[in-house]
Chains A and B, each alone.
Chain A
Amino acid sequence: MATEAIGGDPALAWLVWVLPFAGALVIPAVARLRGSPAGYAAVGVALASALCAASLLPGALGGAEVHHQVSWIAAVGLDAGVLADPLSVIMANVVAWISLLIVIYSTGYMRGERDYVRFWFWMLFFIGSMQLIVLSDNLLQVFFGWEGVGLASYGLISFWYRDKKKDHVGTEGRTVLGMLDYYSPTHAGMKAFVMTKIGDIMMLAGMFLIFAYAGTFGFRELVAETAWAAEMSAAGLLVPAFVLLFGGAVGKSAQFPLNEWLLEAMTGPTAVSALIHAATMVKAGVFLVARIGPIVFALGAAGLLADQFFEIVAWTGAITALLLATQGMVNREIKKVLAYSTGSQIGYMMMALGVAGLSHQYADGYTAGFFHLVSHAMFKASLFMAAGSLLHVVGSRFMDQMGGLRDRMRKTHAFMWAAGLGLMGAPFITTGFWSKDAIFAAVYESGGWWATPLFAIAVLTAVITAFYTMRMIGMVFYGPKSAHAQEADKAGLLHEAPLSMWAPYGILAVLTIGIGIIGLSAEEGLHHLFDEYLVHTFGIHSAHGEPSGLPGFLSALNPAALGASLVAFGAGAGLGYIFYVARWADPARVVGSNPLFRGVHALFLNRWYINAAIYWCFVAAPLWVSRAVYRYFERTAVDHGMNIGLERAAGWGARVVQGTQTGVSQSYLFVFGAGILFVVMVLVI
């Protein structure tokens, strides 16, 4: 046992992820008690885990690190451990506290649901797995958590496995290129599981490739001694190995080209969408890149450049950001808009972590990406939970069946504005603004040929983001009530959600603004912390940027990035306001006005045809092949040849053995005697 406990008790770090797992195991038992206390038990467990995570904060913010290992499987030299450094502790707290709020929200959202216990089991199992990813000190253990969150995600996406019509996503009967664009929960669960599994396999390959050379999975061990990297580099395997690892992140974080599962993942209960498919699990990929990025960058300092890795990360992020944002502009389903937005925002984070490695100021991009992760987690969880309230109340997932809800749901309206402003990046008062601005600055300052196109993509995406967010708020809360909403109103259904539901998203919405107001200093604090952390742990020194010429507190900001942020927000939000809030013009008429707009609209609405293409290549085509194999090979060679042959062989073998088992003692004794002879003869020969 190696203990290095500065600034915290390692037991608390272990408890952060062990507690939720233990909770998941006892939940079925607790649920049998009277008064169905399962929900409260889950809240208790989540709270305890969050408190453990919080107890690690003071040490981590002071730059200390808790690293504690126990021998796991000594025969193969594996240790299990927790690593609570600033990166993981902040992430653990984001996960823990947002999970807690969402668990509280779920007690309201899932009330009266069948299979309550299954829900809580998976939620706690998920939290445990996620914290296992965050606090692990080695890749193998991360992978266990990685599969755990994948499993929980599968279980929760297909939670409503009875596949009722209301639980589907997409428009019934709609097809794209002949492929149905309408998914049941069970199908969606499988889709998510299979698609992310592609990434997982890549990750596994990358992991073991590194292990084959380094002989360790440990993050700290990989940095301490870098001879393995030199060997891999000489064999031309260094970049491929890390890119394979990144493949895992691509799958889990729904980045292009493995992005399509996230949209269908919206078949899960909204609390799940908020927790898993917005605030935490999809961030696992970003977190993984943040974990391994410094290792790769530090190798660069040792002369083993792996720039291609960072280029791939940055471009994957940029493409995803734009691709998904464009689709978010046209979708009718509120949860899918938010899902597109999630993938797109994660693209931003990847972009930031990628350009960080390409510039001399690693800490800038690193901080920007991580800061965006934190701020996005807050406002996106809030938006999702608010959307859940809307779904609950209106009874429809389509935004054009809402409309004019602002006077009926005042609190939700206000909170959605606050969180929405965060997503739009409303200047100076939201966390989203500061984090996005930091990304812009990092991209802009990174230098190199990629800086300009990436910057352009980032800004364009920001315009689109502001637009679709405004569109969402406008369609839901403004304008006249739709026919569906009027009906619901007449039935007296339109009212505010209960306290246990609005309080969690209210808290996060308020935090979005509250932290936003002090956002600049929060970011600087984080920057300072990470700067120290990177120097201390990885020996990465970042050059310090010159103060810009801007006055006052803006002097730390890059003028070009700041300008771009402001323009993007103004343009996107302005257009959205005109079409959807003020409703001065009818968007349908504008789109229908010329063939170019119609074509682009169709392209976006049909998901750039990527989803349909994937289904043709990986679902339809393999099915043809499999039918052909079934008809021409299995029915003939296997069924009539091998199966019967094997069966007969096994049956024959068993009969032979049974034949010797006569039950007659004399024959047994004979065999026994022959056996003695046999053994002695083998020995003598």
Chain B
Amino acid sequence: MTEPFSTPLLLIGILGTAGAALPLLGIARRDRGSHLYAAIALGALAASLALVGYQVISGVAGPPAALPDGVLADDAFGAVLAAAMIIVALISTAGSIEYMRKRSAPAVYYSLILLATVGMVLVVYSADLVMLFVAWELMSIPTYVLVGFNKRNPGSNEAALKYFLFGALASAVIVYAISLAYGLTGSTNIGEVVAGFAALDISMVPLALLSVGLFIAGFGFKMGLVPFHQWLPDAYEGAPAPVAALLAAATKKAGFAAAIRVVVMGMISLSVDWTLALGVLAVMTMTVGNVAAIMQRSVSRMLAYSSIGHAGYILVGLAVAPHSQLGMQGAIYHIFNHAVMKGAAFVAVAGMVVALAATHMDKLAGLGRKMPVTSLGFVLSLFALAGIPPLSGFWSKLVLFEGAIDAGSSLWWAPWLAIAGVLNSALSLAYYGWITRRMYFEGEREKRIAEPRSIAAVMIAASVFLVAFGIYPEPLLGLASSAAPLIP
């Protein structure tokens, strides 16, 4: 059972209190100036990060259990992923400071980010399906509002509506999957469900498979897996750019965390050959994401497709998980890296929105001279996304694909996943390279313009992260391997 002072509860305390207090403060102050709210949100997030970081680094968080009992599992898996979520929330909050300066209701905005973060954190710590569902909704509902936060902007409204529609459908699918699982096993604890699946009568197995399939579909919606991805580019494009960062880099990853906890474990117990299903989804997802990204003219839409592509890479790790320990490690490692890379890339877009009021490709010409810091951080994140050494993204892709090759000893087609991944990475360079060319090799003698400071700071921090952990990847690799649950 969960102890009163376990990490997830403390995090709820910190983030939830701040999240609840902000709107009240906003009413009391009548929305004078948005910096105070941002500062409070940043403070709460930094405190949470410090708490989780301490857990991770000191090793207080216990080793991840494959099948934890209780409602919340206070383990290293949760801690590492929670750290990733909180980092994204930090990036996106910091990136919002300039963005929100001129907009209404900043207190509510920051409060919603904090509440969504609470939801994400709880998702990754959940060990019970009901808890997971509650956390899932806690994560989703604030983001529906956030996507539609520019309420006078029809694009933003449409995005929010689509996102909500699909979110509701996905939630319904998940609830149905939970009800099937409960009906079959009489429990909502993930560990007991999995154990129950394993002991299932043969005639009941198809129902269990249906339940797992529905879980995949429900979580796949958040993860952006093809064919559950179509809402995603529309929503990311319409959402305020810092919110897109939160969606692409964090809530998407919460979907993966849930999938690891539920789907992977559940399917292992059912001992069906599900690697093929996930493998097919992985290749479809990465190919569709990258091919579609090539032709995009809007940077945020392109990044949205790129994040679909990355969901495909991560799924490779889940697909080969039963055959290679590296699969899970690579997935967690890439989730962590992607959080920073994609978060920084979207915040760079936020910078463009603030400074140029545009996200169209053609506006990028000469950006390298106009906004040198933002551009450098942007290019570094793009190159890291493409997996160019020695940036951090290279190593996580390496581990993922190494896992696929490693699994080749027991699964003949697994190495083809790695080949598909490498080909897709090469394909992705086409559009990352295009952006880079626009920014640095086109445009007349542009004058430098003022860059939003907090966004530049995020860019610098992300660049340092990507380069430093690219040259010295050991700490992150260590984290990923300590967080990966051992497959029984």
Interface residues in chain A, defined as those with a beta carbon under 8 Å from any beta carbon in chain B: 71-75, 650-651, 653-655, 657-658, 660-661, 663, 665, 668-669, 671-672, 674-676, 678-680, 682-684
The answer to whether B295 and A75 have CB atoms under 8 Å apart is no
B187 CB–A CB distance under 8 Å: no
A497 to B349, CA, bound (A): 55
The answer to whether B227 and A669 have CB atoms under 8 Å apart is no
Between-chain CB contacts (< 8 Å), 23 pairs: A71-B474, A73-B477, A74-B477, A75-B395, A650-B291, A650-B294, A654-B291, A654-B292, A655-B295, A657-B288, A658-B295, A665-B231, A668-B231, A669-B166, A669-B169, A671-B227, A678-B227, A679-B216, A679-B220, A680-B213, A683-B209, A683-B213, A683-B272
A residues in contact with B295, CB < 8 Å = 651, 654-655, 658
**Smallest CB separation, B32 vs chain A (Å):** 38
The answer to whether A665 and B162 have CB atoms under 8 Å apart is yes
User: Which residue of chain A lies nearest to B301 when distances are taken between CB atoms in the complex?
Assistant: A661
The answer to whether A684 and B166 have CB atoms under 8 Å apart is no
The answer to whether A676 and B213 have CB atoms under 8 Å apart is yes
A665 to B163, CA, bound (A): 10
A674 to B217, CA, bound (A): 10
Q: How many residue pairs at the A-B interface have CB separations less than 8 Å?
A: 88
A residues in contact with B173, CB < 8 Å = 676
**Smallest CB separation, A646 vs chain B (Å):** 11
User: Which residue of chain B lies nearest to A681 when distances are taken between CB atoms in the complex?
Assistant: B213
B276 CB–A CB distance under 8 Å: yes
A532 to B295, CA, bound (A): 67
B280 CB–A CB distance under 8 Å: yes
- A679-B281 CB under 8 A given contacts A660-B230, A661-B233, A672-B228: yes
User: Which residue of chain B lies nearest to A79 when distances are taken between CB atoms in the complex?
Assistant: B474
Interface residues on B, range: 35 or more
Interface residues in chain B, defined as those with a beta carbon under 8 Å from any beta carbon in chain A: 161-162, 165-166, 169, 173, 206, 209-210, 212-214, 216-217, 220-221, 226-228, 230-231, 233-234, 272, 274, 276-277, 280-281, 288, 291-292, 294-295, 395, 398-399, 402, 472-474, 477-478
Which of A650, A671, A683 sits near B212, CB closer than 8 Å?
A683
Q: SS class of chain A's interface: helix, strand, loop or mixed?
A: helix
A318 to B280, CA, bound (A): 62
**Smallest CB separation, A468 vs chain B (Å):** 45
Which of A74, A661, A682, A684 sits near B280, CB closer than 8 Å?
A682
User: Which residue of chain A lies nearest to B473 when distances are taken between CB atoms in the complex?
Assistant: A73
Which of A71, A75, A675 sits near B227, CB closer than 8 Å?
A675
A residues in contact with B399, CB < 8 Å = 75
Interchain residue pairs A-B with the least CB separation, the first 10: A680-B213, A675-B227, A654-B295, A682-B277, A657-B292, A668-B230, A676-B217, A653-B291, A679-B213, A683-B209
A669 to B292, CA, bound (A): 20
A653 to B226, CA, bound (A): 15
The answer to whether A671 and B230 have CB atoms under 8 Å apart is yes
B residues in contact with A658, CB < 8 Å = 292, 295
The answer to whether B162 and A672 have CB atoms under 8 Å apart is no
A672 to B209, CA, bound (A): 18
Given contacts A661-B234, A672-B228, 20 further A-B contacts (CB under 8 A): A71-B474, A72-B472, A73-B395, A73-B474, A74-B477, A653-B291, A668-B166, A671-B227, A672-B221, A675-B217, A675-B227, A676-B213, A676-B217, A679-B217, A679-B277, A680-B214, A683-B209, A683-B212, A683-B213, A684-B209
**Smallest CB separation, B343 vs chain A (Å):** 24
User: Which residue of chain A lies nearest to B398 when distances are taken between CB atoms in the complex?
Assistant: A75
**Smallest CB separation, A156 vs chain B (Å):** 23
A residues in contact with B288, CB < 8 Å = 657
User: Which residue of chain B lies nearest to A682 when distances are taken between CB atoms in the complex?
Assistant: B277
The answer to whether B272 and A663 have CB atoms under 8 Å apart is no
A residues in contact with B212, CB < 8 Å = 683
A657 to B472, CA, bound (A): 38
**Smallest CB separation, B268 vs chain A (Å):** 13
The answer to whether B228 and A72 have CB atoms under 8 Å apart is no
A236 to B59, CA, bound (A): 49
A655 to B296, CA, bound (A): 11
The answer to whether B206 and A684 have CB atoms under 8 Å apart is yes
User: Which residue of chain B lies nearest to A663 when distances are taken between CB atoms in the complex?
Assistant: B234
A655 to B228, CA, bound (A): 19
B residues in contact with A671, CB < 8 Å = 227, 230
User: Which residue of chain A lies nearest to B170 when distances are taken between CB atoms in the complex?
Assistant: A672
A672 to B218, CA, bound (A): 10
A682 to B288, CA, bound (A): 19
**Smallest CB separation, B293 vs chain A (Å):** 9
